[in-house]
Amino acid sequence: MGLPAQCQKLLNDMNKLEAQVKQIQSAPGYIQDHTGPHPGRPDPESLTEVKALEKQIAAKNSAFNACLVANVAPFPVKITVTSIASIEGTSEIGSDEPYVIVTAVDLTSLVPGLECTLYGPVSLNAGESKSPGGKPFWFIDNTTGKAIPDLTKAIFIVSLMENDNGSPSAARAFVKGLATVSIAGSTALPLAQRITKLKADVDSALATPTGFPNVDDQIGASLQLALSKLDLVLPILGPHTVTLTFSGDGKFVVTCTITKA
């Protein structure tokens, strides 16, 4: 699958503008030396030219994204947690060991499909980022990809835990059991209410102790990974990332990568 011609033209125009910016910024004298009126700063005339080009780039980028959404048909994708980053560590002594559980729901059939996928734990100090490994959480067989032509037919709930003496695999099992009951029992509710209920039920499952004496603690509440139509077509250019930030006892960023299947 290639880019539609009209989108390709916009991308080419944007690349040319970006090349002009790089050419200006790399030219001798762009950053003034000690003989200039503002040593260490960009030449004012060149900077004005760069800012004008950057405005054109932003406009072309908006047009390009709109072109993708309007002209690229949904195609199969895979979605995977590819990074857990520690912005601020927890109050636990030593390195943190966060893990992620993603609850993915496919509502395209009469009987919804559901899978919970575990990533990690990984050992992290503040400022570090690591890949937890693991298979895609979409599609829900953890192997193949699947298109999402209707964003109301897929739900993704992401949860972050700190591993102490608990069992991540047991936590995953608790979440899957309660999430399955939640989805089956909420068919009469509007989608927004189903998602709210599912998040609450997932959090309730994660409050179940899976170890002793130091239980695993949830970091912030579970979050919905709410994707846009643009998120699902940008992988035509290569891997596309979406992030979620969890704040509680510590602050962490979870990165999900969407790839063309």
Question: Could you read off the pLDDT tens digit of each residue along the chain, which spans 261 residues?
Answer: 789 999 999 999 999 999 999 999 999 889 988 777 778 889 889 999 999 999 999 999 999 999 999 999 999 999 999 999 999 999 888 899 999 999 999 999 989 999 999 999 999 999 999 999 999 999 999 999 999 999 999 999 999 999 998 999 999 999 999 999 999 999 999 999 999 999 999 999 999 988 877 889 999 999 999 999 999 999 999 999 999 999 999 999 999 999 999
In the chain the beta strands, taken as DSSP E runs, fall at 77-88, 98-106, 113-119, 129-130, 154-162, 217-218, 223-224, 240-248, 250-260
CA distance 8 to 72: 12
Total-model pTM = 0.93
Tokens found for residue 10: 């916009």
pLDDT number for residue 206: 97
CA distance 24 to 34: 20
3 state DSSP class of 69: helix
CA distance 145 to 76: 5
Cα torsion 158, 164, 166, 169: sign = positive
CA distance 109 to 161: 31
pLDDT number for residue 35: 78
Q: Cβ atoms within 10 A of the Cβ of 61, count?
A: 15
pLDDT number for residue 93: 84
CA distance 143 to 102: 15
